[in-house]
Structure 1
Amino acid sequence: MFSLKSDNENSKVKNSLAFSSGINGKIKNAFLEVWQQYKTLHRYGFEVVQKRLAGSTMQAQPVIDFSQVFGTKRGYRLDVAERVLDSGELNVADLPEEVLRGWFAHELGHMIDYENHSNLGMIAYGIRYSISDQYKREREHEADSIAIRYGFKKEIIATKKYLLENDFISPKYQDQIKKFYMSIRGAELCPDDRTPVLPKIDL
């Protein structure tokens, strides 16, 4: 849920966007299209890393310096898997562009949600997310809601339909999506009036 860095590592983080070496060009371009709308996050050091992931397809996490656990300074990192979880050989880079944008919009929605929590509060967030199905469902719904309010309703719906209606996505993964994430109908009905998402720091 979050990553801790040493002082030396954190000193290298600047308020800029960086991509891991060799990241797929289609993934990079799709991310940049979504990133432009999430200007609230542009003041942070931010890294997009494509690598092998065992238990997820994408993972959004704050990067917190050990010395800032009781402070406010942080960066963010988005890990992107090489293949879609439980899909056999489907590469993330082979997803339709609209689906990629919807997925990225959801993950950046998580990061906007993280803004509501102090660095210390993020530790409690991670614990609750891991042990409480209800809390995990609330946070996943909130990430979808934020993405929609940032203008990505069409992409969020397209992503859900793609994952739930294609038989090369495993039933197990589809069941997890149905359990924790906003439904297609819920996304269609979700307000998209661009309501500002203002942080309310939860200690």
Structure 2
Amino acid sequence: MKIKNKMILPKNIEEIFYKAKKYYPELDNISIKLKYTPLFYETMTATPSIYSFLFPWKKRSYVISINSGKQFGRYNVPISSFNDSILLGWFGHELAHLIQYEKMDWLEIMFLPYNFIFNQQFRKKFELEADKITKERGLEKELIKGIKFILEDQRVNRLYKEKTKKYYSQVS
């Protein structure tokens, strides 16, 4: 596992990542790079690396980008200050995406960005499947805590809340 930083990754975030990764032992031999970088409108994203697209015959590698900005969904608090439990749930969700990617063939990976952007039903199904995997790994409480945080905190942008309601597990 490599950590690639445009900025220095806060130690607590790195530690939480390793804690979450313990729930996914089948990813132990998979190359995962952490990239701490400003993201426009996401907390974290997990994607196959560009090399996985360009060299499909080689073993896949992945990048988990972590929002380094102070604007998480237009929420003016650095991600490093969030509750460890919430971050554990979010990392669990992103690692679940890697499980999904590992089951896809090269063509499915190639069309993934298109489907994710232009097919709302695909995106919802994909995100709910990642939530299901996260829950099955024992991170349900942490995942739900993160979703509730987004939906209930007054400082989180309305559009980000709507996106969360639309694509992710529902909480009561």
Return the offset for 1:142.
0.5
Question: Which residue pairs with 1:158 in the alignment?
Answer: 145
Q: How does 1:168-187 map to 2 (within 5 A)?
A: 168-185=155-172
Question: Which residue pairs with 2:65 in the alignment?
Answer: 79
Return the offset for 1:55.
3.0
Contact 2:90–2:146 (CA under 8 A) maintained in structure 1: yes
**Structure 1: how far apart are the matches of 2:14 and 2:145?**
19
Number of positions where the alignment pairs a residue of Structure 1 with one of Structure 2: 168
Contact 2:23–2:137 (CA under 8 A) maintained in structure 1: yes
Contact 2:53–2:106 (CA under 8 A) maintained in structure 1: no
Which structure has greater helix proportion?
Answer: 2
**Structure 2: how far apart are the matches of 1:89 and 1:53?**
13
Seen in structure 2, the aligned counterparts of structure 1 residues 115 and 170 have a Cα distance that, compared at 3 Å, is same
Q: Does 1:57 pair with 2:43?
A: yes
Question: Which residue pairs with 1:25 in the alignment?
Answer: 11
- Structure 1: tracts of 5 or more residues without a match: 1-16, 186-203
Q: Which stretches of structure 1, 4 residues or longer, exceed 2 Å deviation after superposition?
A: 64-69, 83-88
- Structure 2: tracts of 5 or more residues without a match: none
Q: Kindly provide the amino acid, as one letter, of the partner of residue 79 in structure 2.
A: V
Q: Kindly provide the amino acid, as one letter, of the partner of residue 168 in structure 1.
A: R
TM-score normalised to structure 2 length: 0.91
Return the offset for 1:65.
4.2
Q: Which has the higher Rg, Structure 1 or Structure 2?
A: 1
Seen in structure 2, the aligned counterparts of structure 1 residues 20 and 136 have a Cα distance that, compared at 3 Å, is same
Name the Cα RMSD after superposition: 1.5
**Structure 1: how far apart are the matches of 2:132 and 2:36?**
25
Return the offset for 1:72.
5.6
Percent identity reads 25
Return the offset for 1:20.
2.6
Question: Which residue pairs with 1:147 in the alignment?
Answer: 134
Contact 1:18–1:47 (CA under 8 A) maintained in structure 2: yes
Return the offset for 1:52.
0.9
**Structure 1: how far apart are the matches of 2:66 and 2:162?**
21
Q: How does 1:1-203 map to 2 (within 5 A)?
A: 17-21=1-5, 22-63=8-49, 64-65=51-52, 68-69=55-56, 71=57, 73-82=59-68, 83-185=70-172
Return the offset for 1:88.
3.4
